[in-house]
Structure 1
Amino acid sequence: MLNSITSHRLFPWIAAVASGILLFLGYAGFDQFYLEWIFLVPLFWALRDARPGRAFLIGWVAGIVGHGGGFYWIIDMFKQFAGAPLPFALVGLALLAAANGIVVAAWAWGIRVIAARGWQVIWVAPVVWTAMEKFWPEVFPNYLGASQYRLSHLTQIADFAGILGVSFLVVYINATLYWVTACWFEERRLPWRALSALALSLLFVLGYGEMRLKEVERQVATAQTLKVGLVQANRGAADLHIDSDTVLQEHRDMSRTLVEKQRPDLVVWPEGVPVSLSFREGVLPTAALGDLGTPLLFGACLRVAGGICNSAFLVDASGRILGSYDKTVLVPFGEYIPFGDTFPSLYSWSPYSSRFWRGQSEEPLRLGDRVLSLSICYEDIFPLHIRKLMAGGKERRVPEAMFNLTNDSWYGNSTEPVQHLALASFRSIENRRSLVRVTNTGISAFVDPAGRIVKSTGIWTKEVLVDKIPLLQGGRPPYSVAGDWIGWLCALLTASAITSPMSRCVAREKLEKGKPCV
C-alpha cells in the first residue's frame, strides 16, 4: 500500500506541499510548534529516489509554500512601506518566498548528494540544514529554531550553540522520525540505536535546560533591578506622518500618567516617535518630552546631510542627552533600495522608499552607572549584530540589559509581531541578559535572561507596561563569545561530504539490501 502511494508520479509534489504547510503552521505566530518536529517527514519520503536536480525542485516547492504561508504579511509591508499596489506586493511575496525557499531546495539537493556517498540521513539532514541557515542570505532571517520559543527547557542550548543549535535539534528529530517510519514500513523493525541516540540527546538538552534555568533564576534573584515603563500608543506608521503632533502628545500624556502612578526609573518610547530634535549643547527641552522628570529612551528620525538616520536617544530627567544610537541594519526597499547608491534612479521607481544612512557605532549607552545595549527595529533578529553590540564597545564593559525600539505596524494585524518577538527572545538566551522591547502597535514585551516572555502587550492595543528588569553582570556566555561555531562546523562537514568521493560502495550496498537511504 505504501509503495503504491509513494510511487505515484504526483506524490513527491503533494508531499512537498504538505511539508510546506506543516512548516508555516508549526512556526511562531501560528504556534503549533509540535508540527515542526514532523514537517520534513513527508519531504523525506518524496526525496527517496530523486536525483539531486529533481530533489532541488521538490525541496524548492516545499520551501516556497512554507515561506509563502509564513510570510503572507509581507504583502502589507510592500503596500505600506514601499507604496506598492497589490499585484506588485503579491509578486514581492512570491519572489521572497522563492528566494528563502532555496534553503529547503539546497538542503534537499545536499542530502541526496551526500546520502549517495553512504552517509546516513539522520546525521546528514541536520548538518546540511544548519549550514544553509547560517550562510543563505535572507532579508528576514527566520531560523527554524524560533518555532520552539515557548519550550524554555529545550531552547537553553542557545547559550552555547545559538538559535542554529535549536534548528539542528528540530531537524534531527524530523530525520530520526522519518528513519523510524521507513525502517518499520519497509523492514518491520525499529532502529533502536537511532531511537536511543535521540532519547539521550533530548535528555541531555532538557537536563541542560533545567540546570541553566535554575542558574539564571538564582542570578536574577540577587541582581540589582531597573524599573522600566513602556509606552505603546497604538499609532501606526501612517499616523506618525499624518498626525504627528497628536501622536507625540499621546506619548507625553501616557508617559506622565505612567510616571505619576508607577514611578519607573526609565520610560521607553518606540521607534520613530515624531519628536522635534531641536537641542542646544546636547540638551533637549523637557517640555518637548512631556516634562516627565524621569530618564527617557526614545526613537526618532534624525535628518542629516543627504539623508535620514533612524536613531534613538537616551536623555536624563533634565533633558541632557546621555547617549544615542543609529540603526545599522536597514530594511531593503523601505529604508534603502539595494544598489541605490550606485544607481540613484532606482529611488524614482519606488517613491515611498526612504534613503536612510547606516549607523556606525557599537557603543552601549550609559544611564548613571548602568550600561545598556540598544538596537532598533528588526536588528534584534540578527544574532551576530546583537553579539557585536553586547561586546561592550571600546571599554569592553558588557551591557547589563538589552533594549529594542520597533515599529511593526507596517505588517498589519498579522503573525509578524509574534514571529519578531519569538526570534528576538533568543537574543536573551544567547547573551544571558534581559530584553526590553517596545513597539508602536505591539507586541511590547519584557523577556527574561532565559528567553521567557515575562510580560507583554496585545497587538494593536493602547497600553503601558511596567516591570523591574534584572541587571546582570559578569562574563559573556559561550555563544556570545564564539558566535555561530555550529554553523561553520556544519558548513565544513557539508562541503567535505559533498566533495568527498569515498563510500560510494557503502551506498550501493545499502540500496541492494533495501535499507532506507533517503
Structure 2
Amino acid sequence: MNRITSHPFFPWLAAVASGILLFLGYAGFDQFYLEWIFLVPLFWALRGARPRRAFLIGWVAGIVGHAGGFYWVIEMFKQFAGAPFPFALVGLVLLAASNGIVMAAWAWGIRLIAAGRGWQVVWVAPVVWTAMEKFWPEVFPNYLGASQYRLSHLTQIADFTGVLGVSFLVVYINATLYWVTACWCEERRVPWRPLSALALSLLLVVGYGEMRLREVERQVASAQTLKVGLVQANRGAADMHVDADTVLKEHRDLSRGLVESERPDLVVWPEGVPVSLSFREGVLPTAALGDLGTPLLFGACLRTADGICNSAFLVDRSGRILGSYDKTVLVPFGEYIPFGDTFPSLYSWSPYSSRFWRGQSEEPLLLGNHVISLSICYEDIFPLHIRKLMAGGKERRVPEVMFNLTNDSWYGKSTEPVQHLALASFRSIENRRSLVRVTNTGISAFVDPAGRIVKSTGIWTKETLVDKIPLLQGRTVYSTAGDWIGWLSAFLFAAAVTSVCVSARRKLRE
C-alpha cells in the first residue's frame, strides 16, 4: 500500500477519483451508496500533506465533482445568457471552482486540526464538512445529504438537524470506513471503538427514522386533505416567448380536462406561464384562465412601478385574486445580473437575461380556511428561506402545505430536474409538510411530509397529475431552531483552528 500511496501522482489521481465518485453518487446519477465511500480515496491522498497542499488536493476533487454534477450549467448559460459553448464551458469551470472550495477548505481544515492536535479524523471530518456546507455561499447549493433522498429511514433526522445533519452522517460514514481500512492496511487490526460507534449511530438514526415515519403516517391518516391537480404542458421557456397564446391555450385545455375528470379543489400551473399583470387586487376574467370554476394558482409576470417581478397568483373560482407572492431568491445571470443596477451596460452583454425585481413579502396565502406557503423556482433548495416562509408571516399563520412553481426547462434533458426535486424534498422533512411542485417540463411531483416522492411526472412530457394532500399542523425542531448543527460545527471548527494556531505560536516562542 505504501508503494502506491507514495507515488507522486497518487494524491492527484485519488482526488480525481473522489470527485468522480461524488457526482456519480449524487441525485440524478443516483448511485447513493458511492457517497458512503467517495471521500476514502481523498483521505488517503491527504495523509501527511501540509494544510496548503491539502487545500489544493481537495480543490481538485471539488472541481471534478462539481463539474461532473453540474454539467447542465452549460445549457443554462446558453439558454439564459445566450452564451456560445466555449463561454458556457468557462462558466461551468468557474462554478465548479467556486463550489469546490467546500472540499478544499475541508481538506485544509482536517489536516490542520488532525495534525496539529492529534485528533482522530473520524471526529474532525464531519464537523469541518458541516461547517463549510453551512457557511460557504453557493449559487446552486448542493447539500451532500440530498444524495440519500431515497433512503427515508436515514433522512428523517432532517426534522431535527435539517439536511446538514444528513450530510454530517454521510461524511462520518466515510471517515470511519477510511479509518478502518487504514488501520487494517497498516497494522492489520480492526479499530472496534470507532466501528462500534458508527454502528450504534446508524442504529439510532434508523430507529428514529422508523419512529418518525410511523408518526407521520398516523398524522396523515387523520388529517384534512386538499385535492390538487397539476398541469405540466411540456412547454419550455423559449415557447413562452415565441408562441405565448398557444401555450396559454394548452394550459387552459389541459386544466379543463383535469377539472372535468378529477374535480380537484385547486388547479396549479407552473412558473413562467405567459400571463402578465399590473395589479395585485381585483378580478381576472375567468375566460382568460379557462372558465374552470375551480381555484387556480399560477405563475405570472407582475409589472409594478418599481420593476418586473417573477410572481405567482392565487384566484378563486370567480377569478378574484386571493393573494400573490413575488420571488425573493433570484437566479444570477438568468433573472438578474450581479451589479447590473450599478453597471447597466452588463445587460447588453447578456441579452437573454431578465431583469426581475426582488420580492419582499414572506406572508402565506389563504385558500378558504387553509394557509399555504408558496415559493418559486429554485427557492425550494434554500432551507432557511423556506423556513422563513413557513414561520407564518406577521400574524404567525403557520402554513399547512407548501407549493413550489418551477421552470426547469433551461437545463435541457439532464439530471438537473432530479437534483432539484431531491434537494426540495428535504423541505418536507424539515417542516413536516407536504410539498406540491409543478414544473413546465418536469419533474412535477407530490412529496409527502416524510420527504417521499408519492407521485411524479416524467421529464419533457405533457401530462397532468392529481393527489390528495394532507394538511398538517405543528412545528419541528428544525423549523424552530434552524441550522443549529451548522452553527455548532462552525463554532467547534473555529475553536479547533484557534487552538492549533495558539499552540503553534507557543512553540515558536519556546
Q: TM-score range by the shorter chain?
A: over 0.9
Q: What secondary structure, in the 3-state scheme, does the structure 1 residue paired with 2:468 have?
A: strand
Q: 1:500, CA displacement in angstroms?
A: 0.1
Aligned to 2:408: 408
Aligned to 2:129: 129
Aligned to 2:452: 452
CA contact (8 A) 1:146 1:422 kept: yes
Give the AA of the match of 1:460.
W
Q: What secondary structure, in the 3-state scheme, does the structure 1 residue paired with 2:277 have?
A: coil
Aligned to 1:172: 172
**Whole-Å separation in 2 of the counterparts to 1:364 and 1:304:** 21
Q: 1:281, CA displacement in angstroms?
A: 5.6
TM-score (norm 2): 0.97
Distance 1:490 1:276, change over 3 A: closer
**Superimposed CA distance per residue, residues 255-295 of structure 1 (whole angstroms, 9 cap, x where no aligned partner):** 00000000000000000101243779611000000000000
Task: State the identity %.
Answer: 89
Aligned to 1:57: 56
Give the AA of the match of 1:328.
T
Aligned to 1:516: none
CA contact (8 A) 1:118 1:504 kept: no
Q: What secondary structure, in the 3-state scheme, does the structure 2 residue paired with 1:227 have?
A: strand
Alignment of 1:304-453 (within 5 A): 304-305=304-305, 307-453=307-453
**Whole-Å separation in 1 of the counterparts to 2:22 and 2:187:** 29
Q: What secondary structure, in the 3-state scheme, does the structure 1 residue paired with 2:238 have?
A: helix
CA contact (8 A) 1:231 1:465 kept: yes
**Worse-superposed segment, 273-282 or 235-244:** 273-282
Aligned to 1:157: 157
**Whole-Å separation in 1 of the counterparts to 2:209 and 2:276:** 47
Aligned to 1:32: 31
Aligned to 1:472: 472
**Whole-Å separation in 1 of the counterparts to 2:351 and 2:251:** 29
Q: What secondary structure, in the 3-state scheme, does the structure 1 residue paired with 2:335 have?
A: coil
Report the aligned-residue RMSD: 1.4
**Superimposed CA distance per residue, residues 50-97 of structure 1 (whole angstroms, 9 cap, x where no aligned partner):** 111100000000000000000000000000011111110000000000
CA contact (8 A) 1:277 1:284 kept: no
Aligned to 2:265: 265
**Whole-Å separation in 2 of the counterparts to 1:91 and 1:277:** 37
**Whole-Å separation in 2 of the counterparts to 1:381 and 1:280:** 27
Aligned to 1:119: 119
**Whole-Å separation in 1 of the counterparts to 2:455 and 2:377:** 19
Kindly tell me the number of residue pairs found equivalent between the two proteins: 504
**Superimposed CA distance per residue, residues 328-351 of structure 1 (whole angstroms, 9 cap, x where no aligned partner):** 000000111111122222212211
CA contact (8 A) 1:156 1:212 kept: yes
Distance 1:281 1:50, change over 3 A: closer
CA contact (8 A) 2:277 2:303 kept: no
Aligned to 1:22: 21
CA contact (8 A) 1:275 1:288 kept: no
**Whole-Å separation in 1 of the counterparts to 2:19 and 2:382:** 24
Alignment of 1:107-256 (within 5 A): 107-116=106-115, 117-256=117-256
Q: 1:501, CA displacement in angstroms?
A: 3.4
Q: What secondary structure, in the 3-state scheme, does the structure 2 residue paired with 1:340 have?
A: coil
Distance 1:359 1:279, change over 3 A: closer
**Superimposed CA distance per residue, residues 140-199 of structure 1 (whole angstroms, 9 cap, x where no aligned partner):** 000000000000000000001000000000000000000000000000000000010000
CA contact (8 A) 1:279 1:285 kept: no
CA contact (8 A) 1:269 1:438 kept: yes
CA contact (8 A) 2:176 2:195 kept: yes
**Whole-Å separation in 2 of the counterparts to 1:470 and 1:280:** 29
Q: 1:420, CA displacement in angstroms?
A: 0.1
Aligned to 1:289: 289
CA contact (8 A) 2:280 2:321 kept: no
Q: 1:303, CA displacement in angstroms?
A: 1.9
**Whole-Å separation in 2 of the counterparts to 1:280 and 1:211:** 44
Q: 1:305, CA displacement in angstroms?
A: 3.0
CA contact (8 A) 1:118 1:503 kept: no
Give the AA of the match of 1:230.
L
Q: What secondary structure, in the 3-state scheme, does the structure 2 residue paired with 1:138 have?
A: coil
**Whole-Å separation in 2 of the counterparts to 1:210 and 1:11:** 42
**Whole-Å separation in 1 of the counterparts to 2:451 and 2:17:** 31
Aligned to 1:99: 98
**Whole-Å separation in 2 of the counterparts to 1:83 and 1:305:** 28
